[in-house]
Structure 1
Amino acid sequence: MNNAKPRRILLITRNLPPLVGGMERLNWHMADELAKYSEVRVIGPRGAKAIKPEKVALTEAPLRPLPLFLLVSMLKALWLALSWRPDVVLAGSGLTAPLAWLSARLCGAKAVVYLHGFDITVRSKLYQNLWVPFFKRMDRVIVNSTPTKGLTFVAGVPERKIAIVYPGVSLPEAPQPAESINAFKEQHGLTGKKILLSVGRLTTRKGLREFVEKSLPAIVQAEPNAILLVVGDAPKDSLGAGIQTVESIQQQAEKSGVANNIRFLGVITDQTLLATVYEAADVHVFPVRHIPDDPEGFGMVAIEAAAHGLPTVAFATGGVVDAVSCGVSGYLVSKKNYTQLGQCVLRLIREPEEKIKIQGFANRFAWDEFGKGVVAEMI
């Protein structure tokens, strides 16, 4: 492409809204940002067309069953490769890397994949034998964090092909009105409470049940007004990830004597309401567990929290080490040290960090910077 920005980009991904999660938000924004530089077409799951970025053309494939999604997506990708002739074919995750490689080779385009940690470590012989080898064949492999780069290198991808482009975040234009925050607190019985916030899918890796068991009782004993506010639910369409249900977390809360100190709000898709929740909270808890074959690729929710001035307390595992700046946007503690995790939560409750400092860290992860980074790695 002679160092020129690609004129046409074909993005193939199953991870798009209406599915809910960090990968889905990332792929939506990736399409949106790339459309600022190129003509972008997307092959995505059924239901995505209604909420796609404005300047993006989207073709749908059935979400389920997975083999049907892959088959239909492959046929559509091959057709677009021949009829539209993109300059770059981009896989939004490892799942669609073979489709991107095949269609790119058909039309002489550049084959690129954006990888998350779980894309490489997923426990499946079929996936490891058929999918992972395609990562080595790609012209460029973009990864979401330093640890994911290490996993990609171990998987056999030459280091010269690998580049890190951190996921982005939507920076708020202004703080939420105080009356909105107060009304939210009053509605949910949170006035006068110390709010610990958890946002995200309730997967085994996220470790919320273990936090309720091993950290929350000591926090509540020291601060009886502490409330754990949970935004999210168990994923219905996640590939390979174990889940923790609301019921299992509630049962653990009852066993641990903190049932009155936890609230479940379910999934929140309204961005204004979610911003209000972030700004109403005192600390974001992110107790991601260290599971070797199910790593946390980055930790976008920690950046989202920082964008609203909310500090994060997390274990130093996986890509979380890139998403939290210890002493700036929160604290990182050693893996499995639930006592230290609780102590850091209490410290932030009692001695809040300066919001401006936390938001300053988040600014470097703006979505437009993400888009520039991805485009640069395609050239």
Structure 2
Amino acid sequence: MADPTLGIMTLYQKDGTLDEEERTYFRSLVLQGEELGLHVFVFTPEDVDPSGTSVRAHVYDREKGGWSRAPKPLPDAVYDRCRSQQSPKFRLMRSFRTQYPKLLYLNHPLSSKWGNHVILNKDSRIRPHLPLTRRFHTLGDLKEFTALHRIVYIKPVDGSGGRGIARVTRNGDGQLALSGRDASRAIIQPLTGSPEAVMRRLSGWITDRRYLIQQGIPLTLKDGRVHDIRLLIQKNASGHWQVTGAAGRIGAKGSATSNLHGGGEAVSFHRLMAARGFSEAKTAAIRNDMEALGRAIALRLEGHFGRLCELALDLAVDPAGHVWLIEVNPKPSREVFKRIGDQAAYTTALRRPLEYALFLI
């Protein structure tokens, strides 16, 4: 009997190629799948045969050490790795899911950052962990939020990797300091000035995209760099939510975000908490709060959108030890665990979607 099949659904880049970083991840999934008796291949909605019964898949050959193309029947299960974006290619993904609703999908798409916030804010267990967040439109929004909070973040409704995120800090003299990254992830030239001056600068690179404004949590370390915590929660081989691991991320010097792709550094959770001055007992309590919050968020979002297999939560811990949710990432990387040398968490993070696929099949 042939091995069950898992199709990893992704999107081509603008030049018609697969993302190089994702392809490295896909290779790992293929090799791990072989060990589990699961045949894994990669496809995009553009690869579907006109008959609708097969795909021209990307197949990795362990012996040859490379990728090739081969026709494959539609898989037994689909692992959706199509990251949200405003593009015709992303609409193709939605069209594929509409056309093939009976396929066994490991995960369903979530909403935008704003849509997810609205859903989570309705849960009394989660609400105390959500920073004040609203849609961002005008100078009045900027003035209102910076009067309430010394730090605010302005971020696109859709997006990932720290692109297009600005941090605005209110100084003691009432002026605002602006820093951040543009849509290409480049660090923007800092600016200090009036709310009007900051808004003019923002208007220069916040164009036709929809944005949020959000209460900022104090995340600056003694050296001036910002940090957060990435917690990965996944379905296990029995179909139950289980926390895979947590790790700290410290942003590059001068960066308003901690993303690894923007030059950030990965550190262990305990090392980061010790640097924040928390005792071992307090660190353990914080970790328990994070894991409980992660499960509550996973259950809430799955109850709304349908089956999910994994979520990465970007979390903040304020000086009092209270845990805050910055945002949810439904298509997470595992790189942070490799960078801190936690091979056990990294391997588990790779295998769990495959084990969950076998469970569903």
In the superposition, the TM-score normalised over structure 1's length comes to: 0.33
The structure that is strand-richer by fraction is: 2
The structure that is helix-richer by fraction is: 1
In the superposition, the TM-score normalised over structure 2's length comes to: 0.34
